[in-house]
A = this chain, B = another copy of it.
Amino acid sequence: MIIVMQPHASAEQIAAVVSRVEGGGYRVHLSQGEERTIIGVIGDDRPIDRGQFEALDGVEKTVPILKPFKLASRDMHPAETLVPLDGLKVGGPKLAIIAGPCSVESRSQILETAAAVKEAGATALRGGAFKPRTSPYSFQGLGEEGLQLLAEARNLTGLPIVTEAMSEDQVKLVARYAAVIQIGARNMQNYALLNTVGQAGRPVLLKRGMMSTIEELLMSAEYVMAQGNGRVILCERGIRTFEKYTRNTTDINAVPVLKQLTHLPVVVDPSHSTGKWEYVIAVAKAAVAAGADGLIVEVHPHPTEALSDGGQSLKPEKFAQLVREVRRVAEAVDRTC
């Protein structure tokens, strides 16, 4: 951490800050510029609360130097982490293609979708049994029945299940069915849930909050990892901006940034990140070209009947086209799918 003093900070104020820093067990590195004194804090551990120092008289601001994440950082762990998803290793040369409906709605719907996405080339099945919905009056998911239907679809197709847990109570239940437990964007900073899922013995797919920074996403991964669960897949699913033509803005920059900052695999959800099915294929190809390790895509056999997210769901034949087109791009960046 660096502490920048105000232009006219007095010698007493500077001395007080220095003494405060040293009192905390850190070494001080003082730098007297022409207009400002700058105090470097050496030997600092990450969880310094910078606010304490900002509250000292004469301090203009503090600047963090170290990245606040450790377990998730590539600095500490240069090699890629490969997260198992059934046979596939997410983060390796073969892309993870996770596909399925937003919500599990009925037996026929999920079985039909599972068969279709398997046929088209998917490597895992997604589908929500517990659904976080903005409105309390909207369909909230089938609950455990939905999980059982997912299991039936898995047994039929061999596709492992990726599905969401929304609360600590649900984690144990979901872990009985899911190969990977999904934490949704709205729960990215639900720390109680992150702690619970960190102990659940299952890989986690952690979606970036729609207005969370890349650093906050990594800090939330850090919560899961600090519980001993290092198998975290990060998911860019679009952030909220002023642009209204699409539901969210796909932060495509986040793909190379995350690949640089962390050893964890990164997938992209072009369905939520655009919100309109017409744009999903283009953004899926962009994600793979940018270096994503996989995709998570909403597919519904009859989007006009979907109880949620119909407007952004692909029909199975469109999904098959997505896989064909993505495969060509994947090969152009030395990946397969």
Q: Using a CB–CB distance below 8 Å, which chain A residues touch chain B?
A: 2, 4, 7-8, 20, 29, 31-36, 38, 40, 42-43, 45-47, 49-56, 63, 65-66, 68, 75, 132-139, 166-170, 186-187, 189-193, 209-216, 219, 222-223, 226, 239-246, 249-257, 259-260, 273-274, 276-279, 282-283, 285-291, 303-313, 325, 328-329, 331-333
Contact = CB atoms under 8 A, between A and B. Distances in A.
Majority secondary structure, A binding face: mixed
B239 A249 contact: yes
Contact of A35 (B66, B137, B168, B279): B66
Contacts of A313: 51, 55
B33 A135 contact: no
Contact of A332 (B40, B137, B276, B332): B332
B135 A222 contact: yes
A65 B36 contact: yes
A251 B286 CA distance: 11
Nearest to A251: B249
A50 B311 contact: yes
Interchain residue pairs A-B with the least CB separation, the first 5: A211-B211, A54-B311, A51-B310, A55-B303, A167-B192
Contacts of A241: 239, 241-242, 249, 251
A168 B168 contact: yes
Contacts of A190: 166-167, 186-187, 190, 193
B49 A308 contact: yes
A304 B52 contact: yes
Nearest to A17: B304
Nearest to A196: B167
Contacts of A56: 304
Nearest to A212: B211
Nearest to A40: B31
Nearest to A194: B136
A60 B240 CA distance: 22
